[in-house]
Amino acid sequence: MVILDGKKTSSKILAEVKNRVSTMNIVPHLAVILVGENPASIIYVNNKKKAAEQVGIKSTIIKMEKDITEQYLLDEIAELNNDNTVTGILVQLPLPEHINKNNIITAISPQKDVDGFHPENVGKLVSGIEPYFYPATPQGILMLTDEYNIPLEGKHAVVIGRSNIVGKPMGQMLLKRNATVTMCHSYTNNLDEIIKTADLVVSAVGKKIVRCKMVRKNSVVIDVGIFKDSNGKLTGDVDFDIVSPSCGFITPVPGGVGPMTIASLMYNASKVYP
């Protein structure tokens, strides 16, 4: 069994991004909007800023009070869309409940939508047209499997979770790589039986869901989930100790998909459209 080292691979990708940025004739500039004071969001935003600094991308964090109006946020996004010195825009989710997330995502220029969540980018992905940006987490997962030369074509990929940020785009991106994709969610019957038939499992749920020894021999297990267990320890969806002896490749938590998401986001943030 091989552990897919997200830390090492992300360092390599970040070094490549840094190298490319250093040869560009403009410095990419990422604007990150943070609404409110969600502690996890503050950590994520600071990590993104740190990673941007590391690769030579300028970043600006725009902090807003949690009780701003949706229109206020839309106006700020319109300004950033029109600002030629800003090349990427990211609104940290979740947003306060009174703000409609979809209106905000749709307001960002698709050419600056480094998260790849804008309906134009999503629609392009689904239609087989090259989007301006792919969502960071699934793109980072494919960067990791590519690094380990894991073939995907013709393989049976089982994606657990159907969120807009991970599961759905993951499924589409695996289809694009000619995998045969099964999408699973909370209404899926016989999940364990489906997992048994997978060459690749991507679990993005946020609960201990892949507990069985039943992953196929030599299969690839990607654990996207990250949450705290009852002892406050960071853990993933996959019971690593039980599953790892049976599979071919597996990501650890932490140190697997998390660092790849950041590297993939920086890859996106280094892309500049006129």
Q: How many residues bind ligand NAP (CB under 6 A)?
A: 26
Q: Does 77 bind ligand NAP (CB under 6 A)?
A: no
User: Binding segment for ligand NAP among 54-62, 79-87, 109-117, 156-164 (CB under 6 A)?
Assistant: 156-164
> Cis before residue 96, ω within 30 degrees of 0?
no
- On whether the CB atoms of residues 57 and 30 are closer than 8 A, the answer is yes
Q: Does 155 bind ligand NAP (CB under 6 A)?
A: no
Q: Does 105 bind ligand NAP (CB under 6 A)?
A: no
Q: Does 211 bind ligand NAP (CB under 6 A)?
A: no
Closest CA to 134 of 152, 163, 150, 110: 110
Q: Does 122 bind ligand NAP (CB under 6 A)?
A: no
Q: Least distance (Å) from ligand NAP to the CB of residue 262? A: 8
Q: Least distance (Å) from ligand NAP to the CB of residue 164? A: 8
- Which of 58, 111, 112, 115 is catalytic? The answer is 115
Q: Does 102 bind ligand NAP (CB under 6 A)?
A: no
Q: Least distance (Å) from ligand NAP to the CB of residue 203? A: 8
Residues 263 and 11: their CA atoms lie apart, in Å, by: 8
- On whether the CB atoms of residues 23 and 274 are closer than 8 A, the answer is no
- On whether the CB atoms of residues 91 and 112 are closer than 8 A, the answer is no
Residues 40 and 159: their CA atoms lie apart, in Å, by: 25
Q: Give the nearest residue (CB) to ligand NAP.
A: 206
Backbone angles phi, psi at 223, to 5 degrees: -105, 105
Task: State which H helix or E strand residue 269 sits in.
Answer: helix 257-269
Residues 73 and 136: their CA atoms lie apart, in Å, by: 23
Residues 233 and 229: their CA atoms lie apart, in Å, by: 5
Q: Which residue number, 165 or 220, has a Cβ lying nearer to ligand NAP?
A: 165
The total of other beta-carbon atoms located within 10 Å of residue 216's CB is 18
User: Binding segment for ligand NAP among 19-27, 45-53, 106-114, 198-206 (CB under 6 A)?
Assistant: 198-206
Q: Using CB under 6 A, pick the residue from 184, 201, 202, 247 that binds ligand NAP.
A: 184
Whether 113 is catalytic is no
| Catalytic residue IDs | 48, 92, 115
* Contact positions vs ligand NAP (CB under 6 A): 137, 160-163, 165-167, 184-188, 191, 204-207, 209, 224-227, 257-258, 261
